[in-house]
Amino acid sequence: MRAIVVGAGIGGLAATLSLRAGGHEVTLVEQTRRFTEIGAGIQLAPNATRVLRRLDLLDTVAARAAHPARLSFRTWSDGTEICGYALGPEVEDEFGAPYLQVHRADLHQALAARIPPGSVRLNTQVVGIDQDDRAAYVTTADGERLGADLVVAADGVRSAARQWLFGADEAVFSGTAAYRALLPAAEVADLDLPEYAGWLGPGRHVVHYWVRGGQLLNLVAVFTTEMEVEAGAEAARESWTARAEPGEQLREFAGWDRRVLTALERAGQVFRYGINTRTPLARWNIGRVTLLGDSAHAMVPFQAQGAAQAIMDAAVLGDSLADTAPAEIPDALTRYVRRRLATATRVQAGSASAGDAYHLPDGPEAEARNARMVAYGHENRFGPHSTAWRDDVQEE
């Protein structure tokens, strides 16, 4: 079977590998000229790392990752711990795979290195997708028309393929934006920071964790913002490369715990990006074409499941197309969507709900949230986010 995968992000790369593992011929089409080191930290819960093991990539990724023992939730103003959840060996014992934190570029490189160069078409922009009863086609900006038995559109949160399939449907600004930075370990060695923590405050939260085996601290500071009142809507703009104005992050998080502010102050290069989502769909596939990853279910990152859900899509897609004749591809894609849509949609909603809870104002609401988090820890030592891992592991 021949497949075309559009988009060489995490989801597109994982889909290419999953399909190739099933013996299929895959052409990966990517509009950028080369793979570049972009982005910062990314978290891989055991639903994703189980798939990496199946692809024989877990050891490679784990060697460049950090292996957190615990997640600590803290109050914004003085760092008092609210609760903590286990993430170390206990996770691997329970779910059969570890919890890892990696640089996005390291994961991307590990995935891309397994794909033969001859199977990748870089600097190739797709401007249309169509199909007939026997094949699906992509049209490039150069006028080429490439055909295959199916097309997998993994073209991200701004997916054009989604609109070609289902009509006008734009990405939705979440009302939140974030600053991100990577700091060398020596820059924060004196701050007594937890290895992995989420600091919760009114209208804001901060997450930090290690990547590259503890060499770099990944720092993300999220704040609510109304696009309508932002001059030029800069805070709402989605970009991996838009730099914050000098000191902007310190003004936004004034009054926060000294350790958080010091880390934000020492960050040499701070980027700012708007966080966008997509409205849940009732289906992701039509005929021989399907969506995958952010193009299908882009979500806010507040449960650290965006990449993991794309990787799960890739695994289930590969399973659904195993031993499938070309004529049976539409039915196989329907099986893939049936297995994945409900879980991904549920994680989308859970991530949005988590952000709302993180940003509650001080007072009775925040106190009630803290009490729920503590109680949940007594019932489930891995925390509420592990519900998504368990659902996916059971689904697998």
- The label of the residue with tokens 């890739």 reads 314
Residue 137: active-site member: no
Instruction: Please pick, among 85, 99, 196, 209, the residue that the annotation labels catalytic.
Output: 209
Task: Report the C-alpha gap between 188 and 37 in whole angstroms.
Answer: 23
Contacts of 382 (CB under 8 A, 6+ apart): 85, 86, 87, 90, 91, 94, 389
Check if the beta carbon of residue 347 is closer than 8 Å to that of residue 303: yes
Rg (CA), the chain: 21
Check if the beta carbon of residue 16 is closer than 8 Å to that of residue 115: yes
Residue 276, phi then psi, degrees to nearest 5: -115, 155
Torsion of CA 91, 96, 99, 105, to 10 degrees: 180
DSSP state of 247: T
User: Any bridge partners for residue 44, and if so which?
Assistant: 100
Task: Report the C-alpha gap between 139 and 148 in whole angstroms.
Answer: 12
Active site residues: 209
